[in-house]
């Protein structure tokens, strides 16, 4: 049942990449605070 492994792999990878979008780096946050 490779299906479930592939599903979880795609869900985790894509979900993690998507969660990075729009997130500010610590350097950008520091610059904004200044």
Which residue, 3 or 26, is less far from another protein as judged by CB? 3
Give Rg (Cα) of the chain: 16
- Whole-number minimum distance, CB 29 to another protein, in Å? 12
Q: How far apart are CA 4 and CA 10, in angstroms?
A: 10
If one asks whether residue 26 binds another protein (CB under 8 A), the answer comes out as no
Name the residue with tokens 């049942």: 1
If one asks whether residue 19 binds another protein (CB under 8 A), the answer comes out as yes
Which residue, 16 or 26, is less far from another protein as judged by CB? 16
């Amino acid at each position: 049942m490779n299906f479930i492994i592939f599903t979880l792999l795609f869900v985790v990878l894509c979900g993690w990449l998507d969660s990075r979008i729009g997130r500010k780096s610590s350097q950008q946050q520091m610059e904004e605070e200044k």
